[in-house]
Amino acid sequence: MKRVLFFLIAITAANSLFAQLPPDYRFEFGVNGGMSTTTLPTGPDALYTGSKTTWSPEFSVRFHYNLTDKWQIGIDAGRSKWSTTGNWTLSDVNGQTLQSKQVTFNIADPAVSVCAQLNRMVGFRSRYKEYNKANLYYGISFGTLVAVNNAGSSLSAYGASPDPKLMYTSSYNYGYGIGYLTGVQIGLSYYIWENFGVNVELAAREAYVWNNDSRYGHANDEYNIFYFPMTVGLRYRF
Q: What is the pLDDT of residues 49-93, one digit of tens each?
A: 999 999 999 999 999 999 999 999 999 999 999 999 999 988 877
Q: What is the mean pLDDT of residues 17-44?
A: 89
Instruction: Place 174 in a pLDDT band, splitting at 50, 70 and 90.
Output: very high
pLDDT surpasses 50 at 13: no
Q: Which domain holds residue 103?
A: 2-237
Q: Residue 11 — very low, low, confident or very high, per pLDDT cuts 50/70/90? A: low
Q: What is the pLDDT of residues 107-125, one digit of tens each?
A: 999 999 999 999 999 999 8
Q: How confident is the model at residue 4 (pLDDT cuts 50, 70, 90)?
A: very low
- Confidence bin at 42 (pLDDT 50/70/90): very high
Residue 180's pLDDT band, with cuts at 50, 70 and 90, is very high
21-25, 126-130, 204-208: which is most confident: 204-208
Q: What is the pLDDT of residue 15?
A: 54
Q: What is the 3-state secondary structure (H, E, C) of the chain?
A: CHHHHHHHHHHHHHHHHCCCCCCCCCEEEEEEEEEEEECCCECCCHHHCCCEECEEEEEEEEEEEECCCCEEEEEEEEEEEEEEEEEECCECCCCCECCCEEEEEEEEEEEEEEEEEEEEEEEEECCCCCCEEEEEEEEEEEEEEEECCCCCEEEEECCCCCCCCCEEEEEEECCCEEEEEEEEEEEEEEECCCCEEEEEEEEEEEEEEEECCCHHHHCCCEEEEEEEEEEEEEEEEC
Query: Total structural domains in the chain?
Result: 1
What average pLDDT does the structure give for the chain? 90
CATH number of the domain bearing residue 12: 2.40.160.20
Report the pLDDT value the prediction gives residue 159, as an integer from 0 to 100: 87
